[in-house]
Structure 1
């Protein structure tokens, strides 16, 4: 609970800091706020489960682990966002404040024990992201992305609210444990059909947030149109919070009707893998490729949800961390390279922007290569073990067929991830030496180091959760 209270307060403080004459204080202050929130997050480690806000919010080790991933990802993203202050038209206090408030919503989604708390968390996170997506007001792509995201998000929220209403009508409660008790002892009848319909509608709303097919149509355009720093935030923090919420929802309320919903999630997982991986192969824009890549990784995480066991819980946590680290590295390098090479005054976000990267910028090429290898699931990276744990959890549940499909789709992923590695090392380009701020470089190296460390020692946190 401490991070929620702290970030709510820090978000307001950040907005007031915007009135100061110098913008240079904003980034260090925001990073300090995140460090305090991250430290406060682990004060309750091994003390749970604890309930707050009239038993609407639950804090246990699983909650704290997901919170830690979200706050660490946010810290790294803020640390590479210093470019806000270079633009005289920007208002970094507003951006940082909105991002801190969105983190409050993300943490609510992770620890909710009441469906109203879930809805509040989703909306706090979503409204902030709608605004940030369209923050580049002079860019038509950004305006278009914000409009699409807002309209489709509003529809998804409608489905979600309708689902919550039906669940309340069937069970008479918004609390997860009471819904769980009803679902476990439910008899076939009108109330069971209402519960099934409510669950499906709620899942539609949540699956939209994590870019699962067929609710993914907004993702490529929004990822491409939004400023890259906010795309990074969206693809890591939002996705981690969404899957943490889905796991808590299904494991905390609907294990009694597992036979009903697991096949639905499995079918969506397969469709998501197909759409994400096949869609990524046809992209020439690196940023759109990462959008389809995010869709495909949602498919892998959905496989863990179909297993819904202790191993799958740990697999989701590990995979979320590995994916977040690699994605931050990929977008971090993209921001540096795309600013150096422009097309018509706009950042060049295509594959050819990386041509010859290794010759003049070997560190950036290495960081990008490790991130691509991890996203592809190549051994000795964290991404390999993330997929291995997910496939193992599904196999232990006896869902072999979905594991086979996922492995085949992983081989497709190697094609489009290796395209950027080939561009960096084997193609000639006119890239010059890119100046990287020292702290920016530290963040990229740290994320790369952790990706390799978790690839070499994947059991480093085993037994803690």
Structure 2
């Protein structure tokens, strides 16, 4: 039955419409404000819009899935859970940004605030898309906004270099994704993910398996760039180092989470049949296992040699991208729950760590690890928070990071068997590389507590960063001390609908 625009329940798009309206309003207000006027009101308006969108998303958790716009846009628990992660991460980034650029000359504060909103909107579109076209539109909206944000410090050479490298590598990754999508459309004659799954399975059985596998690996390569997984991670250290620290935190948490939602949507819908056939299952499985393993090994190994803090966190992000690929590679029984739990833990511990790095860099004027020397004496609060975030990233009990890795390991091991030993190898590599990560994480802790300070006086932590550090500490501890509560809640959400087409009827049709 054909439906018109007014026939849809547009309230399901309240979060996206809130963010889009706020971004448009902020851009207009920024244009009419005088150049010498402060833009702090824009930051508060953007934060209010993020909070409102979070409320609209949270109240619909557990509601039946709904499809809109000719079944190209799907609002289900999968999308809502990822949107809450994206909104929380962006809200915390706004909090640490309030005073960061106030005294910097030539910084386009207005553009910074609404570009963060457009990047967030792109990520939200990616989480709900059930069509290749809307997926790519969301991806490019997020990517283009991120390119500009990386180079928004126009007077800084490192920032311009970061933006240039990001644009080039991002363009290459988009080209591979589009190339892979073109094969899918050519074989199936549709861009809808659920239609693709049905028709690609037929094409695979009719002798087109090589083209389908080629499209899969082209898209895997493109996604590898987006989530900074090895060996496609070469842009991440330079971009994180050159970008403003709040932007680097946004890329490490929000952009990566949106990209994983993108990966799960496509691989578990359009390519789900590949996991169920003999040769295809082995090929796809080994492809994902290799990328996950390389990310864990290279990310943790290269981080050992880093002397600059943001580059170290960039390689740490590469390693954590490998950990997050493990559930998809193993395809265990708690894939969604373990992935969402780890992303939530990763949000708090990574944003908290970047916030402390921002405060220390601003005070010391340098980004080396030596800037953390004696931090425990200059700011016990910041040092204790950073130590907690680092031990959580390392996976030390009882922290959010420990239980995040524990649930991924359980999910991985339970999916292995004598005929399928790959998950066991993944679990072994994950354990081994986690031990390696202790050396560089605890190296920062050693600097904070066992080295004399290089500067005199107390470290000033302004209100916004102090709030973010406090929230991140509470989130990391809560997930560490009450993991079962969070996992039980995630278990109540309807994950099956994320990979299942809706039945014809009054809901969503």
- Given the two structures, how large is their TM-score scaled by the length of structure 2? 0.88
Q: Partner residue of 2:85?
A: 69
Q: Would you say 1:464 and 2:492 are equivalent positions?
A: yes
Match of 1:151 among 142, 157, 168: 168
Q: Counterparts in 2 of 1:42-441, with a 5 A limit?
A: 42-82=58-98, 83-258=100-275, 259=281, 260-342=283-365, 348-398=366-416, 399-431=423-455, 432-441=457-466
Cα distance change of structure 1 residues 158 and 439 upon mapping to structure 2, 3 Å threshold:
closer
| Per-residue CA distance 1:208-243 (angstroms, 9 max, x = gap) | 100011111111111111111110100000110111
| Per-residue CA distance 1:93-127 (angstroms, 9 max, x = gap) | 10011110011110111111001111111100000
| Deviation at residue 184 of structure 1 after TM alignment | 4.0
| Deviation at residue 43 of structure 1 after TM alignment | 3.3
Cα distance change of structure 1 residues 44 and 90 upon mapping to structure 2, 3 Å threshold:
same
Distance 1:362 1:232 in 2: 23
- Mean CA deviation greater in 277-286 or 244-253: 244-253
Distance 1:406 1:158 in 2: 31
| Per-residue CA distance 1:301-327 (angstroms, 9 max, x = gap) | 111111234411111111111111111
> Alignment partner of 1:86: what SS?
coil
Segments of 5+ residues of structure 1 without an aligned counterpart are 343-347
Cα distance change of structure 1 residues 419 and 386 upon mapping to structure 2, 3 Å threshold:
same
Distance 1:235 1:442 in 2: 20
Q: Partner residue of 2:505?
A: none
Distance 2:479 2:226 in 1: 27
Tell me if structure 2 keeps the 8 A contact 1:212–1:269: yes
- CA radius of gyration, larger in: 2
| Per-residue CA distance 1:117-154 (angstroms, 9 max, x = gap) | 11111100000111111111111111111111101111
Distance 2:331 2:67 in 1: 23
| Per-residue CA distance 1:353-393 (angstroms, 9 max, x = gap) | 00000012000001101110111011111001111111111
> Using CA pairs below 8 Å that are at least 6 residues apart, which structure has the higher relative contact order?
2
Q: Would you say 1:37 and 2:60 are equivalent positions?
A: no
> Alignment partner of 2:428: what SS?
helix
Q: CA RMSD in A?
A: 1.3
Tell me if structure 1 keeps the 8 A contact 2:26–2:42: yes
| Per-residue CA distance 1:284-309 (angstroms, 9 max, x = gap) | 11110000000000000111111234
| Deviation at residue 63 of structure 1 after TM alignment | 1.0
Tell me if structure 2 keeps the 8 A contact 1:357–1:365: yes
Tell me if structure 2 keeps the 8 A contact 1:183–1:257: no
Tell me if structure 2 keeps the 8 A contact 1:312–1:389: no
Tell me if structure 1 keeps the 8 A contact 2:374–2:448: yes
> Alignment partner of 2:485: what SS?
coil
> Alignment partner of 1:85: what SS?
coil
> Alignment partner of 1:58: what SS?
strand
| Deviation at residue 190 of structure 1 after TM alignment | 4.0
Q: Partner residue of 1:445?
A: 470
Distance 2:371 2:102 in 1: 25
Distance 1:265 1:24 in 2: 44
Instruction: Give the total of aligned pairs.
Output: 460
Distance 1:396 1:150 in 2: 40
Cα distance change of structure 1 residues 203 and 450 upon mapping to structure 2, 3 Å threshold:
same
> Alignment partner of 2:59: what SS?
helix
| Deviation at residue 189 of structure 1 after TM alignment | 4.4
| Deviation at residue 434 of structure 1 after TM alignment | 1.8
> Alignment partner of 1:87: what SS?
coil
| Per-residue CA distance 1:71-102 (angstroms, 9 max, x = gap) | 00110111010122332422211001111001
Distance 1:120 1:54 in 2: 16
Q: Partner residue of 1:345?
A: none
Moved over 6 A (4+): none
Distance 1:208 1:310 in 2: 27
| Deviation at residue 201 of structure 1 after TM alignment | 1.0
Tell me if structure 2 keeps the 8 A contact 1:108–1:118: yes
